[in-house]
Amino acid sequence: MKEKLIFDLSRKGRKGYSLSGNDCPELPLESILPSKFLRKAPADLPEVPESEVVRHFVRLSNLNYHVDKNMYPLGSCTMKYNPKINDYTCDLPGFSALHPLQPAETTQGALQLMYELAEMLREIAGMGAVTLQPAAGAHGELTGILLIKKYHEAQGAKRHKLLVVDSAHGTNPASAALAGYEIISVKGNADGRTDLEDLRSKLDGDVAALMLTNPNTIGLFEKDIQQMAKMVHDNGSLLYMDGANMNALLGITRPGDMGFDVMHYNLHKTFSAPHGGGGPGSGPVGVSDKLVPYLPVPIVEKEGTTYKLSYDRPESIGSMMNFYGNFSVLVRAYTYIRMLGPDGLRRVSENAIINANYLLSKLLDSYDLPYPKTVLHEFCLSGDRQKKAHGVKTLDIAKRLLDYGFHAPTIYFPLIVSEALMIEPTETESKETLDVFADALLSIAREAETEPEVVLAAPVTTPVKRLDEAMASRQLNTCCAL
């Protein structure tokens, strides 16, 4: 089908809404909207020449910091380069001009893409099935926890506790609380991994699940994962994996094989859809076979060569979002996976790990590293030395990095590392870029020693200087002219 939706509200046209192309008649606007809501006179829109519009947006994009401009070392957030071909496929009219209420006969290509993406994500995770519906990682967590809740309810069990490790992302306890659970924190050990004894002591008959991030937020693989899975399962509990760090695992190992029952992906992290500006995101959830009946509706099903949306799932937790998820992110992730293929995905993770270890080796002498020296895709330094000896906090180091032309890393997270500087270079940075970034951090460490006032006054090169963060959160002003 080649229809294209057109919505023409131009001054002259006022034609309204039409399915152009084949045999669909054009509808007058009055037949779609009640006439009392229609304008009596054309809107007084400003007229600006194209050249000024272009310059305005180019200027704004230059003021802004983005991954097309330079490295974005935000640990845990996987801000990798977003290949432009993702946007090309996303813009294809067969995808971009779809309406979510179009009948399935006219959206077969989109349904096929969703079906195949879910299958690929299922395979990458080693799970039983995947839903594409959740709109972000945190939303995937909530979805996963509701699935866990439904599972226990179906067993007739009332379990009201969720175990969350102390290095977890804040969304883990937040999602657990939103789903009505009591949150019990599990400690990490001196090695930076989950403390098995502490876990054992907290596993009782009220525990619904353990939420774990693997590799964890300091970039370490939970090497006892199979033993932990056994402990959790022997207790009748389930194991949830926060998959935000899948960039370290692609094609190397799979959450399903490690014993996880539920996991979420962050397509906008691992699978290269743009993020950081507030969305849209996508947080597909994979589940093991025993949780498949509870997945949200609709699910894309294939019958012969036809795809359809199935709502016929009596045990489903219901719908987690309007329609089918953030489709444009799904198209980007699909494109990314198809472009790379299985070997390419594995190389993504291998190179992400090599890049992180290379960068860490350059910074080891100048910053403290509280945990082991070999990491997966990210590492967490501490600015303790700089703070104690020179009064320069991690916040100051982060601000000074802006003067060197880099976005700051994630700071003060995870909470188990004091003055944390959490760095994830990703596989898409070249050795040259990593060297320039390392030089910037080494130079800041020297400045902290010899001229700390320079670091404390940073940033000096940015359009706005240090903001009063407390005031900004109380008196939010989003239209301040620069």
- Least distance in angstroms from the C-beta of 352 to ligand PLP: 14
Strands 262-264 and 207-213: unpaired
Query: Least distance from C-beta 263 to ligand PLP, angstroms?
Result: 11
Our finding on whether 247 is near ligand PLP (CB under 6 A) is: no
3-state secondary structure of 188: strand
Near ligand PLP by CB under 6 A: residue from 67, 71, 77, 456: 77
Parallel, antiparallel, or unpaired: how do β-strands 207-213 and 161-165 relate?
A: parallel
Q: Which residue in 225, 287, 229 sits closest to 262, CA to CA? A: 287
First to last CA, the chain: 47
What is d(CA 356, CA 144) in angstroms, rounded to the nearest whole number?
A: 30
Site for ligand PLP in 136-195 (CB under 6 A): 136-138, 169, 171
d(CA 149, CA 317): 10
How far is it, in rounded angstroms, from Cα 392 to Cα 401? 13
Distance CA 313, CA 58 (A): 49
Q: Is 241 in the site for ligand PLP (CB under 6 A)?
A: no
Among 3, 76, 240, 334, binds ligand PLP (CB under 6 A): 76
Determine the interface stretch with ligand PLP among 135-143, 229-237, 378-386, 392-400 (rule: CB under 6 A).
135-143
By the rule CB under 6 A, 281 interacts with ligand PLP: yes
By CB under 6 A, residue 244 contacts ligand PLP: yes
Interacting residues with ligand PLP between 354 and 413 (CB under 6 A): none
Instruction: Tell me which of 283, 284, 298, 383 binds ligand PLP, using CB under 6 A.
Output: 283
Q: Is the peptide bond before 280 cis (omega within 30 degrees of 0)?
A: yes
In whole angstroms, how close is the CB of 10 to ligand PLP at the nearest point?
38
Look-up of token digits 């098995």: 196
CA dihedral of 174, 205, 197, 140, whole degrees rounded to 10: -30
Minimum distance from residue 281 beta carbon to ligand PLP (Å) = 5
Which of 171/235 has CB closer to ligand PLP? Answer: 171
Cα Dmax for the chain: 76
Q: Write down the least CB distance from residue 273 to ligand PLP, Å.
A: 11
Task: Name the minimum Å distance from CB 344 to ligand PLP.
Answer: 23
Task: Look at the alpha carbons of 29, 35, 36, 42 in this order and tell me if their dihedral is positive or negative.
Answer: positive
Nearest-CB residue for ligand PLP: 137
Nearest partner of 114 among 129, 97, 126, judged by Cα: 129
Which one among 3, 242, 419, 427 touches ligand PLP, defined by CB under 6 A?
242
Residue 3 as a binder of ligand PLP (CB under 6 A): the answer is no
Cβ closest to ligand PLP, residue 150 vs residue 275: 275
Q: Interface with ligand PLP by CB under 6 A: which residues?
A: 76-77, 136-138, 169, 171, 213, 217, 242, 244, 266, 281, 283
